[in-house]
Structure 1
Amino acid sequence: MKIIAITQEDFFDEEAETICFLLDKRGIDTLHLRKPAATSDNLQSLLQHIPSQYYRHIILHEHFELIHKFPLKGIHLNRRNPHSPIGYQGYTGRSCHSIEELKSSPKTDYCFLSPIFDSISKKGYRAGFSEKELTEASRSGTIDNSVVALGGITPDRLPILKKYKFGGAAFLGYLWNVTEKGELIKRLDEIKYYNR
């Protein structure tokens, strides 16, 4: 199962170093750079502090024009940014919040489906799907290897997601709800353990 990390919305000290750490043999396949309030200059500055060997693992959620300045993995479409730049043919994903939206959305390389479980990072953001809905979507092939589970993802839930045939899991609150690097390492090790 692919493991994806989504950045915090706000910038923080040593963020470039932390991104490199996550992508450097720690079990994170892709990092989604999601900063809704950031300017293009803010994102460009962060990317300039990340060595270029990591760019092929980074996906933008905002300021898609930066894809022409940095050789990044791709872009992620969402409600704020629903369309690819004109002429863009690269790796593309999108966010979906219902099984119907997942079925009816234009085809992309992958799709986030959320919230699968109660959110860790957004208080009051409850699971949006019943066990029955997920089972039916899995059986029908609506959930397949191109669908990534998001929302309340913790390592111990990875076997459940595999049962539903999700191709990946996206971590946000679980990764960033720590205060020291040692705790982050422990959490990354737990993800690896459950993703065996």
Structure 2
Amino acid sequence: MADKPMMKIAITPPVPIADEHEYIVAILEDGWDYVHLRHPSATTHDMRRLIEAIPQRFHNRLKLHGHFELLNEFNLGGIHLNSRCPEAPRLYSGNISRTCHAIDKAERFIEMEYVTLSPIFDSISKPGYTSAFSSDQLSAMKCRNAVALGGVTPLRIDAVNQYPFIGYAVLGYLFNSNSIDELRQKLKEFK
């Protein structure tokens, strides 16, 4: 599976960080496909302010994990369904992705743009959240729209490439950066 172009997705932590919009812009300027805005306890007003702080040219590469009413205000890249928001808004026809924690469930969502399957490796952002799949299970996976999530770092990209993933999603490794300069250094490691 090596040498295939991989989709790169960043997912914001559940709790906003200082200057988060700058981190998001740096990630998108680096060429990542999407940044998922995942702030379950944020208000709609807070989420609106975050989106407004990001240049409009990047809005089509932002995906919402909630606050779907903001789709009426911004030209966003889509929505991501999860246990908190399991259904798309009525009449929504844009890009949809979904969280999955089991291979058989991921294989049922072939109509989605992609599904994130996790945890592939031990999580960085959730201590104690350990890898859920064996190498044999991942190799036998029939899902062809799965994105690896959970513990993804630059050192694990070769391992991700061994399986039929179309890309990878990163949360803890990027957003645990102590500064925008540290984030930019980490982004270079994914080249």
2:165 is matched with: 166
What residue is the counterpart of 1:42 in the other structure?
46
Aligned to 2:180: 181
- Distance (Å, rounded) in 1 between the aligned partners of 2:175 and 2:24: 12
Partner of 1:44: helix, strand, or coil? helix
TM-score normalized by structure 2?
0.93
Q: For residue 79 of structure 1, what is the aligned residue in structure 2?
A: 83
What amino acid maps onto 1:114 in structure 2? S
Distance apart, 1:73 and its partner CA: 0.4
The one-letter code of the counterpart of 1:16 is H
Q: How many residues align?
A: 186
> What is aligned with 2:96?
92
- 1:69 matches 2:73: yes
How far off its partner does 1:181 sit? Answer: 2.4
Q: Which amino acid aligns with 2:46?
A: N
Q: Relative CO higher for 1 or 2, CA cutoff 8 Å, sep ≥ 6?
A: 2
Q: Shift of the alpha carbon at 1:100?
A: 1.4
Distance 2:104 2:94 in 1: 25
Q: Which moved more, 1:40-49 or 1:180-189?
A: 180-189
Displacement of 1:13 in angstroms is: 2.5
Give the whole-Å Cα distance in 2 for the aligned partners of 1:12 and 1:174. 14
SS at the partner of 1:191? coil
CA–CA distance in structure 2, aligned partners of residues 70 and 99 of structure 1:
33
Quote how far apart the aligned CAs of 1:104 are.
2.7
Structure 1 distance, partners of 2:163, 2:97, is 20
Of residues 56, 63, 66, the one that matches 1:59 is 63
Q: C-alpha root-mean-square deviation of aligned residues, in Å? A: 1.2
Confirm or deny: 8 A CA contact 1:64 1:85 kept in the other structure. Answer: yes
Q: After superposition, where does 1:98-113 map in structure 2 within 5 Å?
A: 98-105=102-109, 107-113=111-117
Displacement of 1:106 in angstroms is: 6.5
Cα deviation, 1:57-84, whole Å, max 9, x if unaligned, reads 1000011111111000000000000000
**CA–CA distance in 2 between the matches of 1:56 and 1:105?**
22
3-state DSSP class of the match of 2:98? strand
TM-score by length of 1: 0.91
CA shift, 1:180, in A, is: 2.1
TM-fit CA distance, 1:107: 2.5
Structure 1's unaligned 5+ residue stretches are: none
Report the residue type matching 2:172 in the other structure: G
Q: Please tell me the residue identity of whatever aligns with 2:91.
A: G
5+ residue gaps, structure 2, are 1-5
User: In the alignment, does 2:11 pair up with 1:12?
Assistant: no
Indicate conservation of the 8 Å contact 1:27/1:188, yes or no: no
Identity %: 43
Distance 1:48 1:180 in 2: 21
**Aligned pair partner of 1:2 in 3, 7, 10:** 7
Worse-superposed segment, 161-170 or 7-16: 7-16
Query: What letter corresponds to residue 7 of structure 2 in structure 1?
Result: K
Equivalents in 2 of 1:103, 1:53: separation in Å?
Answer: 33
> What is the CA-CA distance between 1:108 and the residue it aligns to?
1.1
2:118 partner amino acid: S
Say whether 1:119 aligns with 2:160. Answer: no
